[in-house]
Chains A and B, each alone.
Chain A
Amino acid sequence: MSLKRLLSITRKEFVQIKRDKPSLVMALVVPVVMLLLFGYAVNTDVENSAMVVLDMAANQQSRELVDSFNNSNYFQVTDYVTEYRQLKYLIDDGKAKCGLIIPSDYAALLKRGGKPAVQLIIDGSDPTVARTLVSTGNLIVKHKGLQHALQVYGGLGLSFSDKNSPGIELSSRVWYNPNMESEKFNIPGLMGLIMQNITIMLTAFAMVRERERGTMEQLIVTPVRPLELIIGKLIPYVIIGSFDFLLVLTLGVYWFGVPIQGDLILLLQLAAIFLICALAIGMLISTVSKTQLQAMQMTVVFILPSVLLSGFIFPRETMPKVIQLLGTLVPLTYFLEILRGIVLKGIGMQHLKSEVIILSVFTVAVVALASLRFKKRLD
Chain B
Amino acid sequence: MRESAIVTRDLTKKFGSLIAVNNLNLEVPRGKIFGILGPNGCGKSTTMRMLCGVIRPTSGTGEVLGYDIMKDSEAIKQNTGYMSQKFSLYQDLTVEENMQFYAGIYSLSNKEARKRMEKLKEMTNLRGKERALVSSLSGGWKQRVALACALIHNPKLLVLDEPTAGVDPVSRRIFWKIIHRLADEGVTVLVTTHYMDEAETCHNTAFLFSGRLLAYGSPNHLIKELKVSTLEEAFLSLVQRETGEEVEISFKSFLN
A interface residues with partner B (beta carbon < 8 Å): 2, 4-5, 7-9, 11-12, 15-16, 19-20, 213-224, 376-379
Q: A12-B97, A15-B93 known; A220 and B53 CB under 8 Å?
A: yes
Find out whether the CB atom of B84 lies under 8 angstroms from the CB atom of A222.
no
Q: A12-B93, A12-B101, A214-B88 known; A4 and B54 CB under 8 Å?
A: no
Find out whether the CB atom of B88 lies under 8 angstroms from the CB atom of A377.
no
The distance in angstroms between the C-alpha atoms of A27 and B177, with both chains bound, is: 47
Smallest CB–CB gap between B137 and chain A, Å? 16
B92 at the interface (CB under 8 A from A): yes
The distance in angstroms between the C-alpha atoms of A149 and B131, with both chains bound, is: 83
B220 at the interface (CB under 8 A from A): no
Tell me the nearest residue of chain A to B159, going by C-beta: A221
Q: Mark B171-206, 1 if CB is under 8 A from A, else 0.
A: 000000000000000000000000000000000000
Return the contact of A217 from the options B54, B56, B102 (Cβ within 8 A). Answer: B54
Find out whether the CB atom of A222 lies under 8 angstroms from the CB atom of B106.
yes
Query: Which residues from A are CB-within-8-Å of B84?
Result: 214, 217-218
The distance in angstroms between the C-alpha atoms of A223 and B234, with both chains bound, is: 40
Query: Which residues from B are CB-within-8-Å of A219?
Result: 105
Query: Which residues from A are CB-within-8-Å of B149?
Result: 218
B86 at the interface (CB under 8 A from A): yes
Tell me the nearest residue of chain B to A10, going by C-beta: B104
- 15 of the cross-chain contacts (CB-CB < 8 Å) are A4-B107, A5-B104, A5-B105, A5-B107, A11-B101, A12-B101, A15-B97, A214-B87, A218-B88, A220-B53, A221-B77, A221-B80, A221-B82, A222-B106, A223-B78
Smallest CB–CB gap between A207 and chain B, Å? 14
The distance in angstroms between the C-alpha atoms of A171 and B107, with both chains bound, is: 69
User: Top 6 A-B pairs ranked by shortest CB distance?
Assistant: A8-B104, A218-B88, A379-B55, A221-B82, A214-B88, A222-B105
Q: A218-B89, A221-B82 known; A377 and B107 CB under 8 Å?
A: no
Tell me the nearest residue of chain A to B52, going by C-beta: A221
Query: Which residues from A are CB-within-8-Å of B129?
Result: none
The distance in angstroms between the C-alpha atoms of A74 and B55, with both chains bound, is: 68
Smallest CB–CB gap between B111 and chain A, Å? 13
B49 at the interface (CB under 8 A from A): yes
Q: A12-B93, A218-B88 known; A377 and B54 CB under 8 Å?
A: yes
Query: Which residues from A are CB-within-8-Å of B54?
Result: 217, 220-221, 377-378
Q: Mark B151-184, 1 if CB is under 8 A from A, else 0.
A: 0000000000000000000000000000000000
Tell me the nearest residue of chain B to A379, going by C-beta: B55
B251 at the interface (CB under 8 A from A): no
The distance in angstroms between the C-alpha atoms of A15 and B97, with both chains bound, is: 9
Find out whether the CB atom of A20 lies under 8 angstroms from the CB atom of B56.
no
Smallest CB–CB gap between B191 and chain A, Å? 16
Find out whether the CB atom of A218 lies under 8 angstroms from the CB atom of B82.
yes
Smallest CB–CB gap between A23 and chain B, Å? 11
Tally of chain B residues near chain A (CB < 8 A): 30
The distance in angstroms between the C-alpha atoms of A278 and B195, with both chains bound, is: 51
The distance in angstroms between the C-alpha atoms of A219 and B52, with both chains bound, is: 11
The distance in angstroms between the C-alpha atoms of A103 and B131, with both chains bound, is: 86
Find out whether the CB atom of A379 lies under 8 angstroms from the CB atom of B93.
no
The distance in angstroms between the C-alpha atoms of A221 and B91, with both chains bound, is: 18
Q: A220-B54, A222-B77 known; A2 and B107 CB under 8 Å?
A: yes
Query: Which residues from A are CB-within-8-Å of B105?
Result: 5, 8-9, 219, 222-224
Find out whether the CB atom of B104 lies under 8 angstroms from the CB atom of A378.
no
Smallest CB–CB gap between A219 and chain B, Å? 8
Find out whether the CB atom of B93 lies under 8 angstroms from the CB atom of A378.
no
The distance in angstroms between the C-alpha atoms of A378 and B84, with both chains bound, is: 13
Find out whether the CB atom of B106 lies under 8 angstroms from the CB atom of A223.
yes
The distance in angstroms between the C-alpha atoms of A376 and B53, with both chains bound, is: 8
Find out whether the CB atom of A217 lies under 8 angstroms from the CB atom of B86.
yes
Query: Which residues from B are CB-within-8-Å of A215?
Result: 88-90
Tell me the nearest residue of chain A to B84, going by C-beta: A217
Query: Which residues from B are CB-within-8-Å of A15?
Result: 92-93, 97
The distance in angstroms between the C-alpha atoms of A124 and B68, with both chains bound, is: 75
Given contacts A220-B52, A220-B53, 6 further A-B contacts (CB under 8 A): A12-B101, A16-B92, A214-B84, A217-B54, A221-B80, A223-B77
B118 at the interface (CB under 8 A from A): no
Find out whether the CB atom of B74 lies under 8 angstroms from the CB atom of A223.
yes
The distance in angstroms between the C-alpha atoms of A219 and B100, with both chains bound, is: 14
Find out whether the CB atom of B90 lies under 8 angstroms from the CB atom of A16.
yes
Smallest CB–CB gap between A307 and chain B, Å? 34
Query: Which residues from B are CB-within-8-Å of A216?
Result: 88
The distance in angstroms between the C-alpha atoms of A215 and B98, with both chains bound, is: 11
Query: Which residues from B are CB-within-8-Å of A222?
Result: 77, 102, 105-106
Q: Mark B54-97, 1 if CB is under 8 A from A, else 0.
A: 11100000000000000000100110101010111111110001
Tell me the nearest residue of chain B to A19, going by C-beta: B92
The distance in angstroms between the C-alpha atoms of A359 and B78, with both chains bound, is: 37
Smallest CB–CB gap between A6 and chain B, Å? 9
